[in-house]
Each structure stands twice: as C-alpha cells, then as structure tokens.
Amino acid sequence: MKNQRGVLTRKSLAILLIAAVAIVVAAAAFIGFRSNSDTVVKPPEEIEDYLFWEAKELTDFKLIGADNKTLELDDLKGKWSFIFFGYIHCPDVCPLTMGILGQAFKLIEKNPAAYQDIQGVFVSVDPKRDTPELLKEYASYFSNKFTGVTGDTAQVDAFSRQMSALYTIHPKEAQASEDNYLVTHNSTVFLIDPQGRLYGRFPPPQLTQEIAEVFIKIRTFYNERVKK
C-alpha cells in the first residue's frame, strides 16, 4: 500500500466522491420522503385537533350487513368513511349522533365531489338485538349514505379494537326484562381515509356544521398534500 500512494489517493478520492454523492442522494430522498408523508406535513391548525398524529393502517375485518352483504377493509378504500359504534335500543345519543351525521352529509352534498367520496357506517355493538335487516333500515333512515353492519362479538371486536372503540353490555342492569339492557359505547365518530387508514375523529358532542366544514378541509388537505 505504501508503494502505491498516488493510485490510492485517486482511489480514495473516488470513494469519497461516491460517498458524498450517496449522502446527498440519501438526504434528498429522505427530505423528499418526509415532505410527502402526512405524518410530517403539518396540517392546518383548524383541522389538526381532529386528525390522528399518524394515520393508522387498519387490518382486515369482516362485518355483516343486510342481504348477505359483508363489509371488509377493501370496501372502505376509495371513500372517506364515517364510522359510528352504537346500538338501536339506544334512544338518545345514537339517534342524536346519527341525525347530526345525516345532516352533516346533507351539508357536504353542496360540494358534489366531496359528497361522492363519503359513506357512513353504523356498527352495532349489540348483535343480540340488532339484526342486519334492522340495521339496514335504521342506518338508511338517517342518510342513504349509511350502511348498517354488525357481526358476532369477535367480528365486531376485530374492527372496534382497531379504533380503541370500547363498549360494555350491561345485562339486565336494573331493567324490567331480559331484552331491556343498556350498553356503554364510544360515541366518537371515526374518519377513515380512502386508503383505509384511521385518519381522524370527531369526539362528542358533535355538531352538524363542524363535521361538514372540518371534513371538507381535511379532504382538501389530504388531496393536496397526502394523496399518493
């Protein structure tokens, strides 16, 4: 090595140069990657509170709707999905939230492109009483954008747990009959993006105007900055 000083110098220069180029390329790629990733692009302040810090990829699930239809992860892709967990025997909070969402969808309808992009999913955590047929009738009452689904406990949990949407069924708790029991449920409306990722949420108490306006802003932000 000592005898080939000149050659080595040239070689090491070349290596240095290649290394330098590699670092520059890597840095550029990294910066480029970062600026394309929604986990780093800072969303506008007015929608920041509604978005998860990082969009969460969902794993597949299978929920059961009327007419032997199922709802799986692929059915959420290509649309913005508003997800609400509840139960039909819930007389107050569920119709209130579903009514607000239905009204919000009507406001979103003023923006036809956005309206085309949305769907609502009512997930019953009370499959014992809520059949897929009842759920179809229930959900579509609030908007024709709504689907109603449920499943056995394992199927419901496989979906709800991905949103940390807990629920508790209180059997016969001070109730007159076996079929009159109460359910505690998460009353957040979850928003899933067109890539099937948990993207945002509207915590209770929701407001019609708020949901519609914030959603339009989220969608604009996503289309301009996030969409692959």
**Among the listed residues 141, 158, 162, 169, the single contact to another protein using CB under 8 A:** 141
169 binds another protein per the rule CB under 8 A: no
Q: What is the 3 state secondary structure string of 90-124?
A: CCCHHHHHHHHHHHHHHHHCCCHHHHHCEEEEEEE
108 binds another protein per the rule CB under 8 A: no
92 binds another protein per the rule CB under 8 A: yes
**Among the listed residues 159, 187, 191, 198, the single contact to another protein using CB under 8 A:** 187
Among the residue ranges 6-14, 25-33, 46-54, 90-98, the one whose residues contact another protein (CB under 8 A): 90-98
DSSP β-ladder status, 146-149 and 118-124: parallel
Q: Which CB, 129 or 217, lies closer to another protein? A: 129
What pairs with residue 68 in β-bridges? none
Distance of CA 220 to the CA centre of its chain: 16
**Among the listed residues 71, 100, 198, 218, the single contact to another protein using CB under 8 A:** 100
**Would you call 62 helix, strand, or coil by DSSP?**
strand
Q: In angstroms, rounded to a whole number, what is the distance separating the alpha carbons of residues 89 and 174? A: 16
- Using CB under 8 A as the criterion, which residues of the chain lie in contact with another protein when the complex forms? 88-93, 95-96, 99-100, 103, 134, 137-138, 141, 166, 173-174, 176, 180, 182-188, 203-208
